[in-house]
Amino acid sequence: NAGVMQNPRHLVRRRGQEARLRCSPMKGHSHVYWYRQLPEEGLKFMVYLQKENIIDESGMPKERFSAEFPKEGPSILRIQQVVRGDSAAYFCASSPWATENTEAFFGQGTRLTVV
């Protein structure tokens, strides 16, 4: 049973380009969470999605960021018109259901560098 798969592992974008980060949850998991880790900081929650629904996007910047988790395929975190401040590690986690005593399993992260 493969773990949470994120790709690419490393992504370099020029300012103004779009970044698309992919997350395939563990088999049987229908809940996905995205976190951002700025350099030398802890992880900050961005968004929580269930298949085809955004449940909680309280941590998402209001502009340029969007996320989806379609019925088929991976979850996508999209950052439009990237700026230097978007450089960070983006982690995806998945869980089989939405209860507090469930562990969320993390992927290896995508390290985005904006040049």
Partner 1 sequence: AQKVTQAQTEISVVEKEDVTLDCVYETRDTTYYLFWYKQPPSGELVFLIRRNSFDEQNEISGRYSWNFQKSTSSFNFTITASQVVDSAVYFCALRIPGTASKLTFGTGTRLQVTL
Taking the least distance from each CB to partner 1, the nearer of 18 and 41 is 41
Cβ proximity to partner 1: between 17 and 96 the closer is 96
Under 8 Å between Cβ of 90 and 27:
no
Question: What separation in angstroms does the CA of 29 have from each of 77, 81, 83, 104?
Answer: 17, 31, 32, 10
Q: What residues make contact with partner 1 under the rule CB under 8 A?
A: 31, 33, 35, 41-45, 48, 55-56, 89, 91, 93, 95, 98-109, 111
CA–CA separation, 26 vs 30, rounded Å? 9
Nearer to partner 1, 74 or 110 (CB): 110
Q: What are phi and psi of 49, to 5 degrees?
A: -130, 145
Residue 99 CB, nearest distance to partner 1 (Å)? 7
State in angstroms the smallest separation of the CB of 61 from partner 1.
Answer: 17
